[in-house]
Chain A
């Protein structure tokens, strides 16, 4: 199993929120609406949405980075014109969210949300700043490794994926019950971006590559 089990007791919030019954298989036929998904128009998403460093009057504090990659299906085929949404903490590890109580500074020049549509090769690209690690109250001295939240649609509602992208070599990985909820070490590796010199732009920003591979639809399994 590549996805984490819903009950992962190291992550306390799962204890009352994980379903106790196994999910019910359903047979897909051509009328099954879960085999389709919303189609987004290019006029709905503007280029500024993909540059999280240009959404305010000034530039945010932090290490400027480019995050790019492809959205693919399990056979390696690109998924075109699909919506990719990201959100993240600022460089100090603070979210622009009223319930984030971490006593780290907010950045008036950083909201930390972006979106774009993939191109004909399934590629997306964001410019942002590297988020900071932040504490949470799951257990004593709990810290989340730096991460960017990703939301990806695909072509079928059953391909819908929300995940988190981590940065290579973070020493917090072994202590993070959310990342460790993915039991298979090879699957966990899929959550870690690769530093990429080809994406890195001279005298401007480090580059990271993060591909997202979506699952099959039930129809294709038959």
Chain B
């Protein structure tokens, strides 16, 4: 039998965040983009104690934990700020999307979603109603992609079964 999940709780700040965790690509990395947004609860309030993990499919040449080495890394972690915001500086994924896990106090098992940087024909997107599909599409503003996670209620983000 598998081990059940339990919430990350409110006090992960001294255990999980690490220096450079959100900097998957170093400053000035050619073609780097920023993925940023807010995590919101069912009342539309920001979630100040969530932890997000972004995975692009390849570990790359930059250290996951030390952030040493050239190039970029495909894994990042970011705790939300008091206003519920998060950010990642990253190279572009090879495909149209990145995979995003969201942990928080009150979330008993992390929720899994995808951040699509382009609206393309896609087996997952194409199976969703338009307003649900829209929750997975990041809004582009130059090199910045905005993606909010709504845990519950109006505009609730599509979460994946895993």
Question: Which of B99, B151, B152 has a CB less than 8 Å from the CB of A33?
Answer: B99
Residues facing A in B129-148 (CB within 8 A) are none
B1 touches A2 (CB 8 A): yes
Q: How far is the CB of B97 from chain A (nearest CB, A)?
A: 8
In the assembled complex, the Cα of A22 lies from the Cα of B156 at a distance in Å of: 11
Question: Which of A16, A89, A100 has a CB less than 8 Å from the CB of B43?
Answer: A16
B4 touches A187 (CB 8 A): yes
Q: What is the interface residue range for chain B against chain A?
A: 35 or more
| A208 in the interface (beta carbon within 8 A) | no
A87 touches B108 (CB 8 A): no
Residues of A within 8 A of B47 (CB): 17
A190 touches B99 (CB 8 A): no
Binds B, one of A59-67, A154-162, A167-175, A195-203: A154-162
Q: Is the interface of A mostly helix, strand, loop or mixed?
A: loop
Question: Which of A18, A33, A37, A99 has a CB less than 8 Å from the CB of B11?
Answer: A99
A19 touches B3 (CB 8 A): no
B15 touches A163 (CB 8 A): no
In the assembled complex, the Cα of A211 lies from the Cα of B1 at a distance in Å of: 11
* A161 and B5 in contact, given A20-B152, A87-B12, A87-B15 (Cβ under 8 angstroms): yes
A38 touches B75 (CB 8 A): yes
1/0 contact string of B56-67 vs chain A (CB within 8 Å): 111100011110
Question: Which of B4, B8, B128 has a CB less than 8 Å from the CB of A3?
Answer: B4
